[in-house]
């Protein structure tokens, strides 16, 4: 049994064959998934999917690239959705310094608003980080995010960045890039993260692992991520399947 902790089944890339994609995942042992909603379009679809499938869950948040469009009404909307029985975390939220669509100060304001909401409703958070590791850690520390904890989704920091995240009660989630030939840093991260703080994901339809790199990713491929980490750590694959699934169930508070 495998748990893909971060997948965008609500993306348009899956609109034609979502049911088949979910079946392929199940056929490959991926029986649980968390669908991440991050804007007006993807949040309702994430919840619809979670309502339809017993072992699929949803998160709701606001992506930093769209921070410029965030309003007080949207914050209240997220708060109202947090009580939905299939919503298991808030996010993805964070900072993105790659896409120049929302000013950095606006991104930070919206990030802080969502952390404070998470503390208000007592839910963990999912962090999006692109080229902003130091600033994200700083904001999380200042906002005392350790009171709710969270996931550093598709971790892209260095080995040295792991410790401050762990200190704040965050899990480290590894995705497809760990299978890329020249991705040396994330391989070192995958070897160093304590097993009880390790999660896996696909971020599908993005970041397909080798040998599917460049194609549409899908949740069935999370198995390849786990297999690579097991190889790097020289541990049994089945053991790592079980550990990462137990970690996800614990994090999302799923019985």
Q: How many alpha carbons fall within 13 Å on the CB side of residue 141?
A: 11
11-34: b (≥16 Cβ within 10 Å) or e: bebbeeebeebbeebbebebebbb
pLDDT of residue 20: 98
pLDDT of residue 39: 97
pLDDT of residue 100: 84
pLDDT of residue 153: 98
pLDDT of residue 239: 97
Averaged pLDDT for residues 43-58: 98
Least Cα distance to 28 among 207, 175, 187, 227 occurs for 227
pLDDT of residue 189: 98
% of the chain residues with pLDDT over 90: 99
% of the chain residues with pLDDT over 70: 100
pLDDT, tens digit (0-9, with 9 covering 90-100), for 88-123 = 999 999 999 999 899 999 999 999 999 999 999 999
pLDDT of residue 187: 98
Token pair of 200 as six digits: 């896996």
Average pLDDT, the chain: 97
pLDDT, tens digit (0-9, with 9 covering 90-100), for 124-149 = 999 999 999 999 999 999 999 999 99
pLDDT for residue 19 is more than 90: yes
In whole angstroms, what is the distance from residue 226 CA to residue 176 CA? 9
In whole angstroms, what is the distance from residue 64 CA to residue 45 CA? 19
Strand intervals (E) in 107-228: 125-130, 150-152, 170-174, 198-200
pLDDT, tens digit (0-9, with 9 covering 90-100), for 170-201 = 999 999 999 999 999 999 999 999 999 999 99
The region, left, alpha or beta by phi > 0 then psi within -120 to 50, assigned to residue 216 is beta
Strand intervals (E) in the chain: 2-7, 30-37, 56-60, 87-96, 125-130, 150-152, 170-174, 198-200
pLDDT for residue 255 is more than 90: no
pLDDT of residue 174: 98
Confidence of residue 54 (pLDDT cuts 50, 70, 90): very high
Cα distances (angstroms) measured from residue 134 to each of 18, 19, 94, 130: 36, 39, 12, 11
Averaged pLDDT for residues 201-206: 98
Walk me through the domains of the chain, giving residue ranges and CATH numbers: 2-251 (3.20.20.140)
């Amino acid at each position: 049994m495998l748990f893909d902790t971060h997948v965008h089944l609500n993306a348009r890339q899956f609109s034609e064959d979502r049911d088949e994609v979910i079946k392929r995942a199940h056929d490959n042992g991926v029986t649980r998934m968390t669908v991440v909603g991050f804007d007006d379009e993807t949040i309702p679809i994430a919840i619809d999917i979670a309502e339809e499938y017993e072992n699929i869950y949803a998160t709701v948040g606001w992506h930093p690239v769209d921070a410029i469009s965030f309003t007080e009404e949207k914050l209240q909307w997220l708060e109202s959705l947090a009580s939905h029985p299939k919503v298991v975390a808030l996010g993805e939220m964070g900072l993105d310094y790659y896409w120049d669509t929302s000013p950095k100060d606006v991104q930070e304001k919206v990030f802080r608003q969502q952390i404070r909401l998470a503390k208000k409703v007592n839910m963990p958070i999912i962090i999006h980080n692109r080229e902003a590791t130091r600033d994200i850690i700083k904001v999380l520390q200042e906002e005392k995010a350790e009171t709710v904890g969270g996931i550093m989704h598709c971790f892209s920091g260095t080995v040295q960045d792991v410790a401050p995240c762990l200190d704040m009660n965050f899990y480290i989630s590894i995705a497809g890039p760990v299978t890329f030939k020249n991705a040396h840093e994330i391989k070192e991260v995958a070897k160093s993260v304590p097993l009880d703080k390790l999660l896996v994901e696909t971020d599908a339809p993005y970041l397909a692992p080798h040998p599917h790199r460049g194609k549409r990713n899908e949740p069935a491929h999370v198995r390849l991520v786990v297999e690579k980490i097991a190889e790097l750590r020289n541990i049994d694959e089945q053991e790592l399947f079980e550990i990462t699934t137990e970690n996800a169930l614990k994090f999302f508070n799923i019985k």
